[in-house]
Amino acid sequence: MENLAAECRLSFYKTLTILKENDKSKIFLVHHIENNNIYIKKVLTNYNIDIYKALQKFKNIHTPCIYEVLEFNNELILIEEFVNGDTLEKILEKSKSLTELKTIEYMLCICNILGELHSLKPPIIHRDIKPSNIIINNDGILKLIDYDVSRVYKKGSICDTVIMGTQEYASPEQFGFFQTDCRSDIYSMGVLMNVLTTGNYPKYKKNNEVLKDIIEKCIRISPEERYQSIKELKNDLKDKLIEMKKCNNKMNFNSKSTIVDHNKILNSNNKNIKYSIQKLTLRNFYKVIPGFRSGHTWKRIIACFWYSILITALFIYTGNSFLEDLDMVLFMLSLTCLYTNFLNIRNRLPLLKKQEIIFKIVGYVLYTFILVMVFGGILNVINPMK
């Protein structure tokens, strides 16, 4: 009966493609035929169902949601949230390494996840923290994935019954010498920090920068010599983050001071500056006219054609008075100045100087409406009968 119910629930998920397959698991990309959402379907042969039932109840922004935990034909089938983004492994392939600041920010996110997992009753140990198991989604949010080798900490147990984890990131106790606990995840985080900041494992190249001391403490052979809890590690990472931001603020302040000093030197020593500006605005005014600023020939041709139309409109008989035609030409010139950012007008007008596109759109609509009202009002004054 249970198998029938599980089969019924699984029938709603249509397989799109297989993402990964090995002796222990199969991972599929699936589509729910009713709600049209995309999910990840995992089929595991070696598993601890208690871990996944606990994770199903576990809610954290940095972990994928688990929607279904079903045992079917001696296999565990999971339906998980599909996380669209890049793994840290892919990011490292492009950039080779990350900054210390960005690494600390990511580590604090992982500390938030592990702090909660280690606080569960009983605690859950991830045991496979590495770049390929960390995704930065399209919104920039870190997600720790793949709990397939996680285990529940058993008080009084001497060693793990199954040796699992990725070799370079696995702590010594994961090879069967001792039972893994929260300090095993801390060891993996130390290796991860080294890889993110140097592009290599500690045994090949060690971090000698800001995170050096923290990494060294994380990856000590004896668990007793490492951080004893995620909270301890998190506190040290926070201290480093505050320290780095203070240094950056001082550097920015010094840079601004230097710029001010240079400006003072230029203004006091170069007497030709005002003359040069006058030359630009009087004799070379065409250089700031829309269409002629960039020096591109095709833009100059379009600009000449447009300005010719406006000038010609003043002298072609349309049945309107000269003032009416002038009003229309000035209105079109005003719109041209607005939409081509003449004399950097966007940075002087509210809404247009905002970075968000929605504010700019509202700004253009508003100022276009104002120009229509102003020149329309002038037209009514010129010829009140119309």
Tens digits of residue pLDDT in 245-268: 887 776 655 544 444 444 443 444
Q: Is the pLDDT of residue 170 over 50?
A: yes
- Alpha-carbon separation of residue 313 from 51, 106, 317, 380 (angstroms): 79, 62, 8, 20
Question: What's the whole-number average pLDDT of the chain?
Answer: 82
Q: Is the pLDDT of residue 362 over 50?
A: yes
Q: Is the pLDDT of residue 381 over 80?
A: yes
Look-up of token digits 């995309």: 38
Q: Is the pLDDT of residue 4 over 80?
A: no
- pLDDT at residue number 293: 64
Band of residue 313 on the pLDDT scale cut at 50, 70, 90: confident
- b or e along 279-304 (b: 16 or more beta carbons within 10 Å of the residue's beta carbon)? eeeeeeeeeebbbbbeeeeeebeebe
- pLDDT at residue number 272: 41
Q: Is the pLDDT of residue 309 over 90?
A: no
Percent of the chain at pLDDT above 70? 80
Q: Is the pLDDT of residue 285 over 80?
A: no
Q: Is the pLDDT of residue 177 over 90?
A: no
Strongest mean pLDDT among 229-233, 342-346, 349-353: 229-233
**Residues 5-16: what's their mean pLDDT?**
88
> Using DSSP, how many helices (H) and how many strands (E) does the chain show?
11, 10
Percent of the chain at pLDDT above 90? 45
**Rounded Cα distance, 54 and 89, in Å:** 28
